[in-house]
Structure 1
Amino acid sequence: MTCVDAFLGLLLAGVAADIVDLSVLQTAAVAVWRGATAPDGGQVRLRAPAP
């Protein structure tokens, strides 16, 4: 493994971590937004209701 391969591996790992962080933040933001705009007083549910 050359230095370039190691650098590219670290770069890809960092990009993947950023994508995961963004998706987690986006999911949390959507949950908070749905909770704030819900008609039942804005309770944020951490679990989906049972079908």
Structure 2
Amino acid sequence: MLGVVKLVGEAHGYVVRRELKSWSADSWANVQPGSIYHALKSLAKDGLL
């Protein structure tokens, strides 16, 4: 997740999802669409984004 944000900069969850999908992360990391938004929200809340 942080790798995508670092790569593309500030982005909406859809952009993060699209980038992760291009890496096939949905298969090797079991990334689900809802978990992307939850992770982004948690990272922002913790001041990491």
Query: Do they superpose with TM above 0.5?
Result: no
Q: Of the two structures, which has the highest relative contact order with CA contacts closer than 8 Å and spacing of 6 or more?
A: 2
Higher-Rg structure is: 1
Normalization by structure 2: what TM-score? 0.33
